[in-house]
Homo-oligomer: A and B are copies of this chain.
Amino acid sequence: MPTVIVESFIRAIERHDLDLALTYLAEDCDYDNVPMGSVKGRDGVRATLAPFLGMFDTIEWVTSHQVSSGSADDGVVMNERLDRFHSGERWLELPVAGLFVVRGGQITLWRDYFDKETLLSAMATLG
């Protein structure tokens, strides 16, 4: 099931284990934050996520709906999530819809749809 790959990836993010999370991505994966642009490869994902995730002591990506097709060798997963990030005494919450294309047991495309202003406004409220 391609969902196992995606769920393992998200659990690693939640545990702040970026090294482990990156193993679920293909070396040359595309990571597209739709309103903010895309980066290429594990190095691009690390450079994008490491400073962001490092701002928070607790991370929860709560999936409300998830559907998929195909297999871990050739599959597609989409999920609806509330990505929650805790810093100081505040939670930053971002509603997200994600697309994951899985090939050969790894995520080759990760594309998140969200509202940029919702993210930036929430970040501005952090201490």
- Distance A56 CA – B98 CA, assembled complex (angstroms): 29
The number of chain A residues with a CB under 8 A from chain B is 24
User: With A78-B80, A118-B35 in contact, do A96 and B113 touch (Cβ < 8 Å)?
Assistant: yes
Interface string of A65-77 (1 = CB under 8 A from B): 1011100000011
Q: Which residues of B contact A98 (CB under 8 A)?
A: 97
**Could you jot down 12 A-B contacts, CB within 8 Å?**
A65-B76, A65-B99, A67-B76, A78-B79, A78-B97, A80-B111, A113-B114, A114-B115, A115-B115, A115-B117, A116-B117, A117-B117
Q: Footprint of B on A, CB under 8 Å? A: 34-35, 65, 67-69, 76-80, 95-99, 101, 111, 113-118
